[in-house]
Structure 1
């Protein structure tokens, strides 16, 4: 498996899906500057833009830190009914086999981090046992922000920007682990161990979070969906169409990219294909890719 070491932490990339998300840039990133995609096409293609469609990876970051096995986001999941997101409906992928190839059985997982509770970040929280959704990682603590848990809970009757795109997700991928007593709902910040800390990073969703890795002089930020595509690094005012609070998402993106540039930290978005992440640097009021992460290009 593709793995790098950052200080005392190993980071392994576990793939679920890679390819088109059946959306073009104008739909996925409706506020992107005129001409930006053509200007940067030479390095965006084919890893992040191909044949006029955006390309994304659905992947889980597997971290081993202080003797614990930690998963950052759990993708889409298999056999889930997603009537308003057909590209993710009733998948049948070999994700658990890929996790096993990295040396991890479901019962080995100690912590699951859901950076936010969108459809493509919580799917493998559960799997079907007969006709019942049960926790996939029965010995894990599932870390979720209280803000996102409350926002996506249908009982609270919120009206998200995503509309019905997240339909069924809370019921089949969040509620079963909560009812099993496996969730820890946190707020503000949460220290996992001396290497890893979670902080709120709202904007994409009310409870979006960022995981900071700081170990042995190495630093990394796992930023979830605050960056979907590297165009958002060079054009940080650009939001995806799925951001609940567009102004908040822009402000948080600027803040996190600025922090990463100052700290020479790797930035790992949830869905970046190619080499999976990058070190960024300031370029006036924007940012630039300084170098790619050490993972092999995903295919």
Structure 2
């Protein structure tokens, strides 16, 4: 059992502010469809970010120098190794019986003064979902790997001054530990003010609507195709999600990895990882699992296709986009 009063939470850093000015860039409309047995998976992008400083995202001492000196990462970093490109998107999963979304991006109209790039956004994400054949009223399930700002924002939308579920006929599946933590004083900053408002505008309205199923901290099977895999550290109850069909497996990793940088250097936590030792351990374990099973990895922030394979090398792991 997780004891929330034993934790020492910290407020997550500002992203997209004056000091670390990431910027949105134009997006490609192309999206590859992946097939896992009887399941199809495609990506619908909310936004892409460029000019994300390596030294900001990976603040560990000498991390930026290590990354810039790694020849295998040259295609994944920009500005002579000083910056990265990241994606924020939703994975659309179609099984023979269900239409499912995995993570929902950062959302519109949310007040995020500590994260200016996400503050009061107006992005045509719902139009992009519809263009991909997704009617919000026909979504059966919404899975959140965790409840950070850029993974749960489209859980709700603003209607007549009130936050309402964006997908009103769906069951929303949340890690229970995430909900309990972010609803509790343990996740608040020193002034006892919620650190982001995400719980209040993107989580609580869905709970209040009676649309939530919970995944316990130990993870486990959901429906017949999905396994929730505990990968805590980036956040307190972070889950990765495996889907298996026809003898094939794909794994949605959430924020266990932010970019291919961490495939090569799994000891590097991002500035947004809340519990560092757990985050590193979860990442190392998942990389081994991906390499040994040759499962398709579906990332939430990798650019390009955001999908690929991990393999073992003499000095660790490698990443290949597909």
Tell me the residue number matched to 1:115: 145
Alignment of 1:99 with 2:129, yes or no, is yes
* Structure 1 unmatched ranges of 5 or more: 294-299
| 1:192-271 correspondence to structure 2 within 5 Å | 192-271=222-301
Q: 1:1-299, aligned counterparts within 5 Å?
A: 1-20=31-50, 23-31=52-60, 33=63, 35-40=65-70, 43-45=73-75, 48-50=77-79, 52-153=82-183, 155-159=184-188, 166-187=195-216, 188-284=218-314, 286-289=316-319, 291-293=320-322
Matched position secondary structure for 1:121: helix
Check the 8 A contact 1:85/1:165 in 2, yes or no: no
Report the Cα distance in structure 1 between the residues aligned to 2:189 and 2:275, rounded to whole angstroms. 10
* Helix, strand or coil at the partner of 1:282: strand
Question: What value does the CA root-mean-square deviation take over the aligned residues?
Answer: 2.1
* Separation of aligned partners in 2, 1:288 and 1:231: 10
- Contact 2:77 2:84 survives alignment (8 Å): yes
Counterpart of 1:296 in structure 2 is: none
- Using the size of structure 2 for normalisation, the TM-score is 0.84
How big is each residue's C-alpha offset from its partner over 1:81-137, in whole Å with a ceiling of 9 and x where there is no partner?
101000111111111111101111111111101100000000000001110000000
2:12 maps to none
User: Which sits farther off after the overlay, 89-98 or 114-123?
Assistant: 89-98
Gaps spanning 5+ residues in structure 2: where? 1-30
Indicate the SS of the match to 1:214.
strand
With over 3 angstroms needed to count, the CA separation of the structure-2 counterparts of 1:172 and 1:4, relative to structure 1, is: same
Deviation at 1:29, TM superposition (A): 0.5
- Per the normalisation by structure 1, the TM-score is 0.90
Compute the displacement of 1:50 (Å).
4.8
Q: Distance in 2 between matches of 1:74 and 1:195?
A: 20
1:170-223: CA deviations, max 9, x gaps? 110000000000111221224233322112211111100010122213221111
Give secondary structure in 1 for the equivalent of 2:55: helix
Once residues 169 and 234 of structure 2 are traced to their aligned partners in structure 1, the CA distance between those partners, rounded to angstroms, is 29
Q: CA shift at 1:160, angstroms?
A: 6.8
Number of equivalenced pairs:
288
